[in-house]
Structure 1
Amino acid sequence: LNMANMDGDETFESTLLGEAEEVFVERIADDECILIRGTKNHSSASIVLRGPNEYFLDEMERSVHDSLCVVKRVMESKKVVPGGGAVEAALSIYLESFATSISSREQLAIAEFAKSLLIIPKTLATNAAKDATDLVAKLRAYHNSSQTKKEHTHLKWVGLDLHEGVVRDSVKAGVLEPAISKIKSLKFATEAAITILRIDDLIKLEPQKEDKKYGGCMDEE
């Protein structure tokens, strides 16, 4: 190992040097790692995960990766929306009201789309072993009030609290989601539904008919 350039000359630039408070070797589990702490420029960092077994570590790594992806999405879009099914409930109420203003058959499609959005809060409540019917009904009532009464506009942040089984202000509780992720998920789900509805062909496979005389088997001599 040397510091020769492509021409074979020994060169060195002091600007390439970094600064750190300490550099040491520490044994973590079965590996020896070189740790650098107190660097002058913090352009990157390492996260060390420890657990009882590999399966637990894999789950921890997945959770940390998901958390970092959420932070990345927020930094990209610089916008967040309340979680706990608040967005889906608000959209459902708005689209139901909008559907009644249309006098064509499109009203039915918009109304069904509004109804389908409630699958998200219903699934959240069901997965938490809560009464989905009661919670979603309360959630819809709050968002309907926020869109019809000016004095109740603050209720637009209301989402599900799956720990207590109630509805609450998701913004005050810190339950937020990246806006770009919510927009993309709605777009992709809509595109998938449209793609399925465009299919107008049906391929049906008829079951094979068994030979009644030989019970479906032919003996060869």
Structure 2
Amino acid sequence: MAVHFHEEDLPDGVLAGSGAIAVDTETMGLVTPRDRLCVVQLSDGSGDEHLVRFGPGSSYDAPNLKAVLGDPSRLKLYHFARFDLAALQHYLGVMAAPVFCTKIASRLTRTYTDRHGLKNLVEELLGESLSKQQQSSDWGGPVLSEAQRDYAASDVRFLHRLQAELAVRLEREGRMHLAQACFDFLPARAQLDLAGWPEADIFAHA
């Protein structure tokens, strides 16, 4: 298992294939248009993780990365896909779908708890430990520390295994069709966020 670090794009041929891709992002904050995209993490589940860093003033011209993210035949695995989809759309101009979101799957199956963070899922479902210590660190600095790189990689390291476990639970509880409807709506939800409706429930009567 290795963590591979790349500047501004994936090298040619990296992550080529047809299997599901785990995806995560690191940004300067939680307001997508304001807080720039700094790192995109990816894994195909084979044991290696790839980190693509974008520096200040980046043009986000990353054709290899965009090709992987924009491939409509490859499932993308996320934890809280809504945020990552919006960031990738805003900065890279690509809607990285189709989607499986482990946070939504957890909410639909683990109704016995309100703990749906990635750390909680990894610990309960996989018996692994996940540190979130670097979550709020400065991702826009000139150098990413080894701790930051390890943290970023860990955010995609477990998503394939989580997806497999949560898919079993969704089938067991008879909620796979409902989950799939939610996953299919996530690109539109991300676009609503970007268009100015981040919190308003446009389906509400009021």
Report the TM-score range of the alignment, normalised by the length of the smaller protein.
Answer: under 0.3
Q: Which has the higher helix share?
A: 1
Structure with more contact order per residue of length (Cα contacts < 8 Å, sep ≥ 6): 2
Q: Normalising by structure 2, report the TM-score.
A: 0.25
Structure of higher CA gyration radius:
1
Q: Normalising by structure 1, report the TM-score.
A: 0.24
